[in-house]
Amino acid sequence: MIDNKSITVSVSMITYNHEEFIAEAIEGVVMQKTNFAFELVIGEDCSTDRTREICIEYQKKYPDIIRLRLPETNQGMMLNWINNIESGQGKYIALCDGDDYWTDPYKLQKQVDFMEANPDFAMCSHATHTLMCGVLDDNMKIESDVLTTEDLLKKDWALLTASIFFRKDAHKTPDWYYTVKNGDYALQLIVSLSGKIKFLPEYMAVYRQHFGGMSSTLKPLNQTAWMVYLLHKFDEYTANKYKKIILQRIKRMYKLQLFYAWGYKLRKAALVMEIYKRLQFVNPFMIESRRK
C-alpha cells in the first residue's frame, strides 16, 4: 500500500474513454526512476470502453504506486480534474492526461531537483513533442526559460499539460475554476500567481492531438467564447491587474479564430465573431454569452 506521509510527488491523471492510450500513459509514469516516493492518482470518469478495466489491471500490478479514483457516476472533466489534483498527497503535483505519455524516465527527478533548489518557483515545465496523425512535432520553441503570469497571457499558447509540475500549495480553487473548459490553462494562470515558472529545454513527454480531445470538440466560435470567459474570470480574480494584457490577448484570439473559421468555411461562426470583434470597445467579454 502507498504510504501517504512519504510521498513527494503525486501524478494526477484523469481519463475518459482512453482505452487506446491509457496503458502507454501509465507506463510512462511507473517507469520513473527517482530517489523519492511518488504516487499515480488516476481519476477514471466512468468510461464507456475498457479504460476502467485497464486501470484496475495496472493498479493490481503496481499497488505501491497507483491509487484509483473510481466514481460511480460521471463527474465531468473539470470536477474530475480538480478533485483528482486535490486528492494528491504529495508536496508536488505532476500532470499527465490519459491520452498523453512521458518519454524520459528521469522527468520527475529533474523537476523535483529544480524545484527543491529554487523555492521562488511555483511551476516547472519542459519541451514536449506533439503527436498528430502519427507524426511527432518537435518545433516547440519558447524564448525564455523563466516565465511569469504576464508571459502566459502575452503568448497565444499555453504550456502543454504533460509537462506541468507544480507546488500543490499553489493550487487554488476559486468558484469560477470549476466552470471553465480550459482547465489546464486556468491552472497555469492560478499557480503562476504564487511564483515563477521554469522551462526546461529537454523533451520529456508527448502531447497527443486526436479527435477525442477537448480542443477538437469545440469549433472556433465556441473556443473563443470559452477562452474569453476564462480570461474574464481571471481578470476579476486578479482585480484587473492584467487587464491590458488580457485585452490584447483577446484581440489576437479573434484574428486567429477568424482565420480558422473562414478557412474551414464556417461562415456563420465567422460572421458572429466579426460582430463581437467590432463590439470589443463596448464590452470585450461580451462573446462569452456564446459558450456552448
Neighbour-count burial of 39, counting CB atoms closer than 10 A to its CB (0-12 exposed, 13-18 middle, 19+ buried): buried
Q: How far apart are the first and last CA of the chain?
A: 43
Res 142: pLDDT: 82
Give the span between the Cα atoms of 283 and 288, in whole angstroms: 10
pLDDT, tens digit, 9 for 90 and up, residues 12-29 = 999 999 999 999 999 999
Cα–Cα dist 209/229, whole Å:
24
Q: Tell me the DSSP string of 67-90.
A: EEE--SS---HHHHHHHHHHT--S
User: pLDDT tens-digit profile of 261-273?
Assistant: 999 899 999 999 9
As to burial, measured by CB atoms within 10 angstroms (0-12 exposed, 13-18 middle, 19+ buried), residue 76 is: exposed
Adjacent-strand bridge partners of 66: 40
Are 220 and 261 within 8 A, CB to CB? yes
Name the H helices within the chain.
22-30, 51-61, 77-86, 107-117, 149-154, 183-192, 214-217, 220-237, 243-263, 267-278
Q: pLDDT value at position 5?
A: 63
Q: Are 207 and 28 in contact (CB under 8 A)?
A: no
Instruction: Compute φ and ψ for 249, nearest 5 degrees.
Output: -65, -40
Provide the residue ranges of all domains of the chain, joining segments of one domain with +. 4-209, 218-290
pLDDT digits (tens, 9 = 90+) for 32-56: 999 999 999 999 999 999 999 999 9
Q: What is the pLDDT of residue 202?
A: 94
Q: Which residue has the cell 470559452?
A: 226
Question: At a CB cut-off of 8 Å and minimum separation 6, what does 25 contact?
Answer: 13, 15, 18, 96, 97, 98, 99, 100, 101
- Of the candidates 87, 167, 157, 81, the one whose C-alpha atom is nearest the C-alpha of residue 124 is 167
Neighbour tally for 73: CB within 10 Å: 7
Nearest to 280 by CA among 231, 216, 218: 231
Under DSSP, the state recorded for 266 is -
The three-state secondary structure class of 73 is: coil
Q: Which helix (H) or strand (E) holds 236?
A: helix 220-237
- 165: nearest Cα among 107, 215, 118: 107
Query: How many residues are there in the chain?
Result: 292
Instruction: Decide: helix, strand or coil at residue 198.
Output: strand
Quick one: 109 exposed, middle or buried, by C-beta within 10 A (0-12, 13-18, 19+)?
middle
pLDDT in tens, the chain (292 residues): 555 669 999 999 999 999 999 999 999 999 999 999 999 999 999 999 999 999 999 999 999 999 999 999 999 999 999 999 999 999 999 999 999 999 999 999 999 999 999 999 999 999 999 988 777 887 666 889 999 999 999 988 889 999 999 999 999 999 999 999 999 999 999 999 999 999 999 999 999 986 554 444 568 999 999 999 999 999 999 999 999 999 999 999 999 999 999 998 999 999 999 999 999 999 999 999 999 8
The confidence score (pLDDT) of residue 137 equals 81
Res 136: pLDDT: 80
pLDDT at position 115 is: 98
**8 Å CB contact between 108 and 166:** no
pLDDT at 146: 97
Exposed (0-12), middle (13-18) or buried (19+): which is 200, by Cβ within 10 Å? middle
Please name the CATH architecture into which domain 4-209 falls: Alpha-Beta Complex (3.90)
